[in-house]
Structure 1
Amino acid sequence: MNADRFFQTLFLENINRREFLLRQFRGAMLAAAGMIIPAPLMGAPEPDIGIATGGPGPAARKAVDLIGGMGRFVKPGQRVVIKPNMSFAHDPERGTNTHPEVVRELVAMCKEAGAAKVRVLDHPLRKQELCIEGIKKACGVFDEDMVYGLTDSEFFARADIPRGKEMTETDVMRDVLEADVLIAAPVAKSHGSAGVSLSMKGMMGLIYNRWVMHVRYDLHESIVDLASLLTPRLAVVDATRVLSTEGPSGPGKVLKMNTVIASPDMVAADAQTVRMFEWYGQRFEPRQVKHIRIAHERGLGRMDVENLQIREAAA
């Protein structure tokens, strides 16, 4: 079985038109009743999604500016955690980790907004010193020790997941539980089990035991469970390079798209990323990625990006 067929068979939900229209109708009714409320409130002047093209740093700044600027999300004196992909000891061009310049620009914007403390955190899958090296070096311009790969249990604390359907508790990084603002900064990449690894899937890097999500629960349901607890105030997807096959570790086909997507709605950010690019040699709709569809249905955000306000610009 080729990779395209394997991906469609195991990781994407094929939904016929009638089912999809019914789900869209139910979603519209919930939204009208106030049960689906993406972070940008109805009637707010800022767009729901900002899309910028250019170099990694300038595009990250422009994308956030398009939806109101970092001051919309970070207030003076707040503690911020930025969660990029730092799982592998790879060069940025391989597309497995968030580009260091994207992370550096996000830190700079948080500092400009008056953040009292910024931490850049992930739970690496390989030797932590090597995985965080590139981003740590990029953030060294701030003369602060802020980038960490946390793997020891002492850095995690038990947390309940009140809205969890399958996974109802987990161990989360203490810094995350104590933070005022969480920012998701994933690289756009494919994933052999989840289909794609974006904002929601990336939250698995903030817990101690991610493997239980693969072996004990339905992975897609538990991704949404975790996202109901760890809900970023801002999602910034690094699509400057898109690992469109063989994710999450590669090597695979890397699309050089020079794009950054920002939204206060992590579901919308992920949905827009899925819709914009090629995955496994094909194009897919957000509803075909199971955890994105479930998150939409459970009211964590919106996958119907065609109905959202999108602003685009070059950096």
Structure 2
Amino acid sequence: MDRRKFLNTSAKGAVALGASFVPPISLAASHPDIAVVKGAPGAATRAAVEMIGGMGSVVGKGHRVVIKPNMSFASGPEVGANTHPMVVQAIAAMCWEAGASSVLILDHTLAPGVLCLERSGVKAAAAAVKDDMVYMVNDSDHYSEVEIDGGKNLKETEIVKSVLRADVLIAAPTAKSHSGAGVSLSLKGMMGLIYDRGTLHWKGLDSCIVDLCTVLRADLSVIDGTHVLSTNGPRGPGKVLNENTVIASRDMVAADAQAVAEFTWYGKKFQPRQVAHIRHAHERGMGRMDIENLRVERLAL
């Protein structure tokens, strides 16, 4: 069920995904499931998306697009808490080039919104493509209540109205550690599109993340591994690894799994199955963490 059909069911909506959901696969045999590109953030983003089929395979003429980066903290990209602005700029530009009718770049910020938009660099970078794309969604009137049928721990939540109206949702997280979830990537990043995040922490964070992503399942994930915040996330400061890497996939679980395996976290290497919410998402049929069985292609620019 896409977001438009979801909205048409009722004012609250009802979603019944979960174990019956079929994991995404490559759209064509010529494209990999996951692209891993090393290079400057903007160029690497374009190359990674092109490798998996191009933005035209995700965004069609007239589509309304929402991009969800990390821009929740009042810090520059070198800290690793926010998505690199050139990654966001490249994604937005490709959406317009593919024929999108609207592109919104949204986050529910934790620090004061005006400072986040300025210091993250995202607003200025996006303005070089088109004005009026970047917004903080901190006020309750931005949200609609949504019931999550089949949710194990999270039965309802309030989601940004613009996201529910969107034809395409793109996850654009920075790769960073997280004190509660282990890592914060595409799946965890969807919490920035709901109003009450605190509830998820006491209801069981890992399961709630997966419940939420049965509704907020990204059509494309582009993970910014330019400056990986490998410790003391999500805010930092912590140990930052300058990996200069971008990961792209149509499968948000696979993208997150690749990022876990690709980088060092807390001074150690981990397997995707060791991150509970990634494992749960795989087990519930939302995507694949078994990246050893997927086609992964690499490129150095």
Matches within 5 A, 1:108-119: 108-119=93-104
Q: Distance in 2 between matches of 1:154 and 1:294?
A: 32
What RMSD, in angstroms, separates the aligned Cα atoms of the two structures? 1.3
In the alignment, which residue of structure 1 is the partner of 2:139?
A: 152
Please, which of 260, 272, 276 is the counterpart of residue 274 of structure 1? 260
Q: Distance in 1 between matches of 2:30 and 2:251?
A: 15
Q: Distance in 2 between matches of 1:128 and 1:225?
A: 27
Contact 2:32–2:51, Cα closer than 8 Å, also in 1: yes
In the alignment, which residue of structure 1 is the partner of 2:5?
A: none
Which has the larger displacement, 248-257 or 156-165? 156-165
Matches within 5 A, 1:126-275: 126-133=111-118, 134-215=121-202, 217-275=203-261
Could you tell me how far 1:176 is from its partner in structure 2?
0.2
Could you tell me how far 1:91 is from its partner in structure 2?
1.1
**Structure 1 runs (4+) greater than 6 angstroms displaced:** none
Q: Does 1:94 align with 2:66?
A: no
Q: Distance in 1 between matches of 2:27 and 2:129?
A: 37
Could you tell me how far 1:35 is from its partner in structure 2?
5.3
Contact 1:40–1:46, Cα closer than 8 Å, also in 2: no
Look up the SS of the partner of 2:265 in the other structure: coil
Pick the structure with greater CA Rg.
1
Q: Distance in 2 between matches of 1:293 and 1:135?
A: 31
Q: Does 1:85 align with 2:74?
A: no
* Number of aligned positions between the proteins: 281
Contact 1:163–1:229, Cα closer than 8 Å, also in 2: no
Q: Distance in 1 between matches of 2:142 and 2:271?
A: 38
Could you tell me how far 1:132 is from its partner in structure 2?
1.4
From the superposition, tell whether residues 174 and 253 of structure 1 become closer, same or farther in structure 2 (CA, over 3 Å). Answer: same
Could you tell me how far 1:144 is from its partner in structure 2?
1.9
In the alignment, which residue of structure 1 is the partner of 2:271?
A: 285
Q: Distance in 2 between matches of 1:106 and 1:276?
A: 22
Unaligned runs of 5+ in 2: 1-18
Contact 1:268–1:301, Cα closer than 8 Å, also in 2: yes
Q: What whole-Å deviation, never above 9, does each CA across 1:117-142 have from its counterpart, x for those lacking one?
A: 00000000000011112101101113
Matches within 5 A, 1:49-64: 49-64=34-49
Look up the SS of the partner of 1:142 in the other structure: coil
Q: What whole-Å deviation, never above 9, does each CA across 1:221-278 have from its counterpart, x for those lacking one?
A: 0000001110000000000110000000010000000000000000000000000111
Q: Distance in 1 between matches of 2:86 and 2:38?
A: 14
Q: Does 1:106 align with 2:91?
A: yes
Q: Distance in 2 between matches of 1:59 and 1:42?
A: 21
Unaligned runs of 5+ in 1: 1-33
In the alignment, which residue of structure 2 is the partner of 1:306?
A: 292
- Aligned identity (percent) is 57
Structure 1 residue identity aligned to 2:299: A
Q: Distance in 1 between matches of 2:268 and 2:297?
A: 25
In the alignment, which residue of structure 1 is the partner of 2:6?
A: none
Could you tell me how far 1:162 is from its partner in structure 2?
2.0
